[in-house]
């Protein structure tokens, strides 16, 4: 089943910034003006259900999606909010089994490395000031 689904999926797959539903919608609009935001949400939801897309955890309450299915983790810039992928293979790499909770069956690892990206390093008037939400301003 797929018409504009392809469009949305491709847009997400070709975007390394882990866009929000809204961003994706805007990015796809020009080539498909009638596509509504609600539909984008529905498409993302089904893609997630089908396991083609993942929702990445954030601390600001806005959903961000990722079509990169290869096991990887994220690096987040606290200043510009940019999210980048890094290859930290799987559970084994970080002593997962050592969860001190009895009876808990660990299944997956979700790691986020917080810091400052190259562009944002060096004071507030640096080179690439990004537009992505600079924490809490909703």
**Contacted entry of DNA, a second copy, none for residue 92, CB cut-off 5 to 8 Å set by kind:** none
Instruction: Region of 81 please: left (phi>0), alpha (psi -120 to 50) or beta.
Output: left
Toward a second copy, which CB reaches closer, 30 or 110?
110
Phi, psi angle pair for 37, to nearest 5° = -60, -40
Burial group, residue 81, by CB count within 10 angstroms (0-12, 13-18, 19+): buried
Please identify, among the stretches 5-13, 21-29, 33-41, 56-64, the one whose residues bind a second copy according to the rule CB under 8 A.
56-64
Q: Widest CA span of the chain, in angstroms?
A: 53
Q: Are 97 and 57 within 8 A, CB to CB? A: no
> Which of DNA, a second copy, none has residue 13 at its interface (CB below 5 to 8 Å by kind)?
none
Interacting partner of 35 out of a second copy, DNA, none (Cβ under 5 to 8 A depending on kind)? DNA
**Which residue lies nearer to a second copy by CB, 3 or 124?**
124
Q: Toward DNA, which CB reaches closer, 3 or 127? A: 3
* Interaction pattern, residues 83-112, with a second copy; x per rule: CB under 8 A: -x-xx------x-x--xxxxxxxxxxxxxx
Determine which residue in the list 46, 89, 114, 129 makes contact with a second copy, applying CB under 8 A. Answer: 114
Residue with tokens 């084994």: 92
DSSP letter at 20 equals B
Among 72, 92, 76, 87, residue whose Cα is nearest residue 135: 76
Using CB under 8 A as the criterion, which residues of the chain lie in contact with a second copy when the complex forms? 55-59, 61-63, 75, 77-78, 84, 86-87, 94, 96, 99-119, 121
């Amino acid at each position: 089943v797929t018409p504009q689904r392809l469009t949305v999926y491709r847009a997400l797959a070709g975007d390394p910034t882990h866009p929000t539903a809204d961003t994706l919608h805007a990015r796809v609009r020009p080539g498909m003006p009638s596509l509504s935001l609600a539909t984008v949400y529905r498409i993302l939801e089904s893609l997630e259900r089908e396991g083609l897309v993942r929702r990445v955890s954030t601390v600001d309450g806005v959903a961000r999606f990722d079509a990169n299915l290869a096991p990887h983790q994220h690096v987040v810039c606290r200043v510009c909010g940019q999210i980048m992928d890094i290859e930290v293979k799987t559970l084994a790499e970080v002593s997962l089994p050592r969860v001190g909770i009895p009876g808990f069956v660990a299944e997956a690892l979700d790691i986020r490395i917080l810091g400052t990206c190259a562009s944002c390093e060096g004071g507030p008037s640096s080179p690439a000031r990004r537009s992505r939400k600079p924490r809490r301003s909703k």
